[in-house]
Amino acid sequence: MFNLYKLISEQNQSKFTTKNNIQYSCVFTQPKDLLGLNVKSEVHYFVKTNNCLEKEPLDVKVGNTVGDLLNRFLNENKTKIVYYICDDSDSKGEKRNLHFVKWFQKNNTEKDKKLIKCSIKGYIFGGIILHYSNTEIHIIQKYFEQETIQFQSLGKQTEIEVI
C-alpha cells in the first residue's frame, strides 16, 4: 500500500501528524441532505483541517493518508455518499479541489467509485464521492448537472466533471 501517516481515530474524527509537525484533522459529519437534495443513502460531509497558518510544504503522505481514509470509509457501506467543499476564502479552492481529484484517482484502486466534481467559479468548489453501485447515482448526477445549468443562467462560470 501507499506510504501513510498513522491515524488516530475516535468516533467520526481521524487525526494525524506529519513529519513537519503539522496536525491534520479529518471529520465526517451527517447533514440532513446532500446539498439540498434528499436521498435515501447515508450522506456524510467531509472536512479536512490543519494547524498550519502558512503554506504547507509538499508532503505526498498527506494525500495518501486522506485518500486512503476516504476509500476505507466509503468501503464500510457501499451506499454511503461523501461530499466535500473546498474553502475558497483565499482564492485557492480550485487548487484544493484538484488535490482531492488526485487523491481520489490514486486511491480508487478498485475503480468502483465515482467522483462528481463541481466548480462554480467565485462561489464553490467541491465534489461528491460514491460507489458506482449506489442506486441513486443517476439522480444525484442529474441534480448537480441541473444546478450548474441554473448557475450558468445567472452568468456564473461552471463545470461538472465525472471522474
163 residues of the chain, pLDDT tens digit each: 568 999 999 888 999 999 999 999 999 999 988 888 899 999 999 999 999 878 888 898 999 999 999 999 999 999 999 999 998 888 889 999 998 898 888 888 888 999 999 998 878 899 999 999 999 999 999 999 998 899 999 998 988 888 8
Reported pTM: 0.89
> In the 8-state DSSP scheme, what is residue 53?
S
CATH of the domain at 67: 3.40.630
DSSP code per residue over 114-158: EEEEEEETTTEEEEEEEETT-TTHHHHHHHHHHHHHHHHHTT--E
- For residue 3, is it within any domain? no
Q: Does a structural domain hold residue 89?
A: yes
d(CA 95, CA 125): 9
**Distance of alpha carbon 78 from alpha carbon 101, whole angstroms:** 20
Residue 115: name the closest of 62, 67, 47, 48 by CA: 67
Find the domain containing 128 and state its range.
8-162
